[in-house]
Structure formats: structure tokens, C-alpha cells
Structure 1
Amino acid sequence: MTNPFEDQESTYLVLMNEEGQYSIWPADIDVPPGWSIVFTENTRESCIEYIYSHWTDLKPHSLRK
């Protein structure tokens, strides 16, 4: 069995939680509670590029105030 988060042939989503933290997520697995889709189904590489270009401040929202 392969790790679903590292399968280069699968498609993925980019999720974000209320704290502004991002995650790559396999497109064929239900999105967990507390997370929203911010980048729709795409290649793993494209999702990782999206995260790198959008998650520029790693501090959670609650620590930025």
C-alpha cells in the first residue's frame, strides 16, 4: 500500500483551516472537518506550488493579532 499523500499519479486538493494553515489533501478522500478547499483538484506538484506561493506567513492567524 502506498502513502496517499505521496502518490505522484493521484490528484490532490489544497485545504486551509481557520488559522490560515495549508495542507495538501488527496482528492479522493473526504475533506476533514475544519478545513476548506482553496485550490481545486490538480496534480501534486501544482498543489505544492500553490501552497508555496500563498502560505507566506507560517504563523497561525491567532498569533498575528
Structure 2
Amino acid sequence: MTNPFDAPDAEYYALINDQDQYSLWPAAIDVPAGWSVAHGPADRESCVDHIEVNWTDMRPAR
């Protein structure tokens, strides 16, 4: 079984939580509680690019 977080041809989401933290998430898996879709579904590179552009401070918002 392959890791769904590493599948190069899968669709992904860029998720964001209430602390303005981001996560790359496979679109085939339900979005976990406390997170919402910030970008996607899209290819992995597009989601990673979105996260890199928008998540400039790794510290929690609060």
C-alpha cells in the first residue's frame, strides 16, 4: 500500500486551521475536524506552492 500523502498523481488540498497553520492533505481523505480547505482540490505541486506563499510564519496565530 502506498502512502496517500506521497502520491504524485493524486489530488490534494491545502488545509488551514484556526491558528492559520497549513497542511497538505489528500483529497481522497475526509478533511479532519478543525481544518478547512484553503486551496484545491488540485495537483500536489499547486497545493505545496499555495502553502509556501501563504504560510510565512510557522508560529500559531494565537
TM-score using structure 2 length:
0.96
How many aligned residue pairs are there?
Answer: 62
Structure with higher helix content = 1
Percentage of matched positions with identical amino acids: 48
Q: Report the Cα offset of residue 58 of structure 1.
A: 0.8
Q: Report the Cα offset of residue 40 of structure 1.
A: 1.6
CA RMSD of aligned residues (A): 0.5
Q: Please identify the structure whose Cα radius of gyration is greater.
A: 1
**Map of 2:60 onto structure 1:** 60
Q: Report the Cα offset of residue 56 of structure 1.
A: 0.5
What is the letter of the counterpart of residue 55 of structure 1? W
**Alignment gaps of 5+ in structure 2:** none
Cα distance in structure 2, aligned partners of 1:51 and 1:25: 11
Structure 1 residue ranges, 4+ long, deviating more than 6 angstroms after superposition:
none
